[in-house]
Structure 1
Amino acid sequence: MIERILPSYVSYAELFHDPPDVTLFPEEELVISQAVDKRRREFTTARACVRQALAGLGLPPVPVVPGERGQPGWPSGVVGSITHCAGYRGAVLGRAGEVTTIGIDAEPNGPLPEGVLEVISLPEERAHLRDLSRHGGTAGWERALFCAKESVYKAWFPLTGKWLDFEEASVEFDPERGTFAARLLVPGPVVDGVEVKGFSGRVLVEDGLIITAIVVPGPEAPE
């Protein structure tokens, strides 16, 4: 499913259920030793996706534990992102050099809880969503905005090591192309001597899910 919004040079894995036979590394087991069942299932199945995505890069399984602000601790030479929600777990990985950063997110295609939109959005974004809603379509645009902003943060943090608030990026969708553009409203990280001023991403709506993906190519990315 997610491969439809990814470039060919990344490796991905996704699962729509929680397999019962996933074995965690001791370092991973320690992370969730006190976790409730829901958190344990999310974490464990996401690591199964990570193993499969690593294999797609020709790499062996290794423990991947959360670091600062929950950012996965990827092995040297690997760039990646993980997401999980009800009915979906996924991981997308690439080789450093071919990929600069990745941010993926999945959410149920349903309305946001009351009051959340005002917290995560800017006035111009809410106007943009109203315009999109008038033109129809299958996406729950409020939820898609939340999903896109989560992808933006996941792409931003590995480059900066800093928090990015919801109001510090502005997102606009192009429903005909299935894409979105995120404009940073704060100074961006400098990559290869150039300031990153925003991110481009893709959005997929299918089977009751909204999935967003940002993959920033690196200098060695295939043409």
Structure 2
Amino acid sequence: MVLPVEPELRDDRSSVQLVAAVRRLVSRGIVVEGGDLKPADRDLRLEEELSLGNVVPARRREFRAGRFYARQALQGFGAGGSVIPIGDNRAPLWPAGIVGSISHTRSLCVVAAGSSAEFLGIGIDIEEDSPLSCELAKLVSHAVETGKRDEIERRLGYDLPKLLFVIKEAFYKMHFPLTGRFLAFHDVRVELDVEKHAAKAQIVPSKRLAAIDSHCFEGRFGSSDGTLFSCFDLSAR
């Protein structure tokens, strides 16, 4: 008789698998750490908490776990004791010489960090593998991006609009610190290479974004035990 897996054990296994899957996709030199949200129950830095402000308990728990894993990632750069508050733009304020990105679901967290001598920017996003509604799908994607939706979803096994959401979020997290410019979903167009699990993201030309570099940025994507993820980085070399 096979005993059912306890939910907590399943979450532990899922987090290990997710972190391992992300590590396989990121560029050399990027450190990835992560897991479930349990570290939030024991990690507290007053300066970080004050920068977070008044938020609901679930958001505070995500925040604490993210900072815990961020300090784990920073240990390899000699900055494991760093405080990482939130800046005015609500993005993490990394220590000098470091670039990075933090992402959460309701139960998992992943952090990616690297040296600013090697990378100008890093972006990562993780989301639960649940389909978007028709309304949200239209908000997130261009018609040209979903033209082969049935074929792509059959090959990948998950919702294409949700994947585009994850890719564009990861791209934005990499791109925003470089320019300080807000991007809507329709400001970015994505081209997928399903076989290689690769994505090219390009800013759509417009009067509002005329001054932003519109060349293609290359990223990667994947899935692990019900979680979709994507990562982008921009080399400093």
| TM-score (normalizing by structure 2) | 0.83
Find the counterpart in structure 2 of residue 176 from structure 1: 195
User: Secondary structure of the equivalent of 2:181?
Assistant: coil
For residues 6-30 of structure 1, the C-alpha deviation after alignment (integer angstroms, 9 at most, x for no partner) is: 1221112111242254322211111
State the one-letter code of the partner of 1:108. E
**Tell me, which stretches of 5 or more residues in structure 1 are unaligned?**
190-194
Q: Provide closer, same or farther for how the CA distance between residues 70 and 130 of structure 1 changes in structure 2, counting only shifts above 3 A.
A: farther
Q: Provide closer, same or farther for how the CA distance between residues 188 and 130 of structure 1 changes in structure 2, counting only shifts above 3 A.
A: farther
| TM-score (normalizing by structure 1) | 0.88
User: Secondary structure of the equivalent of 2:147?
Assistant: helix
State the one-letter code of the partner of 1:165. A
CA distance in 2, matches of 1:79, 1:69: 15
Report the aligned-residue RMSD: 1.8
Further displaced range: 122-131 or 50-59: 122-131
1:204 aligns with 2:218: no
State the one-letter code of the partner of 1:197. H
State the one-letter code of the partner of 1:101. G
For residues 149-175 of structure 1, the C-alpha deviation after alignment (integer angstroms, 9 at most, x for no partner) is: 001111110110110111111012111
Q: Provide closer, same or farther for how the CA distance between residues 20 and 92 of structure 1 changes in structure 2, counting only shifts above 3 A.
A: closer
For residues 34-54 of structure 1, the C-alpha deviation after alignment (integer angstroms, 9 at most, x for no partner) is: 221210110000001111011
Percent of residue pairs identical: 31
Structure 2 counterparts to residues 2-13 of structure 1, below 5 A: 2-13=22-33
1:141 aligns with 2:168: no
State the one-letter code of the partner of 1:218. A
Q: Provide closer, same or farther for how the CA distance between residues 188 and 77 of structure 1 changes in structure 2, counting only shifts above 3 A.
A: farther
**Tell me, which stretches of 5 or more residues in structure 2 are unaligned?**
1-19
Report the number of matched residues: 213
CA distance in 2, matches of 1:197, 1:20: 39
CA distance in 1, matches of 2:40, 2:118: 34
CA distance in 1, matches of 2:230, 2:35: 16
State the one-letter code of the partner of 1:147. V
Find the counterpart in structure 1 of residue 56 from structure 2: 36
| Higher helix fraction (1 or 2) | 2
User: Secondary structure of the equivalent of 2:101?
Assistant: strand
Question: How far does residue 68 in structure 1 lie from its aligned partner after superposition?
Answer: 3.3
1:73 aligns with 2:93: yes
1:157 aligns with 2:195: no
1:113 aligns with 2:129: no
Q: Which runs of 4+ in 1 moved over 6 A?
A: none
